Structure 1
């Protein structure tokens, strides 16, 4: 495994861990926007506060999954570092 493959796997793990929160944020934003359009309420905090609360709750709920993925990635990265150290 070379440096490019390590970089690609790093980007892949970042996307894998970040996309679920982003998708939840987008769905909540869409629901709130539809609610604001129907009720004609145009308050900026109505969009920001619920989204922040729901995304925070989602991140707390998904922390074990995020931790497991980061732990597995870190172990794989240390194995690669050890392998490179032995060949040099």
Structure 2
């Protein structure tokens, strides 16, 4: 296995991680920004007010995109296992 192949595999895995995590985190960040803007406008400094909507959005996003996330992860590992003979030799 050459260093180029290792770097290619690492790059693909890293990009997959970035995509999967960003699908979950970006909606939570957007909701957090909206709630923080609301808190700043109304001067309400309650920690649970920003935590609960982000938690609910994160759970809903995981429920909604869960099958797609699992499919992408399964495809990546399936391709990796199928290519083991080519990667070793």
Q: Under a length normalisation based on structure 1, what TM-score does the superposition of the two structures give?
A: 0.89
Match of 2:31 among 24, 28, 33: 28
1:38 maps to 2:48 = no
Unmatched runs of 5 consecutive residues or more in structure 2: none
Distance apart, 1:80 and its partner CA:
2.1
TM-score normalized with structure 2 length: 0.88
- Number of corresponding residues: 86
CA RMSD in angstroms comes to 1.3
Question: What aligned pairs does 1:1-88 form with structure 2 within 5 A after superposition?
Answer: 2-85=5-88, 87=89
User: CA offsets, 1:16-72, max 9 Å, x none?
Assistant: 111121111110011101111122110111111111111111111100110110111
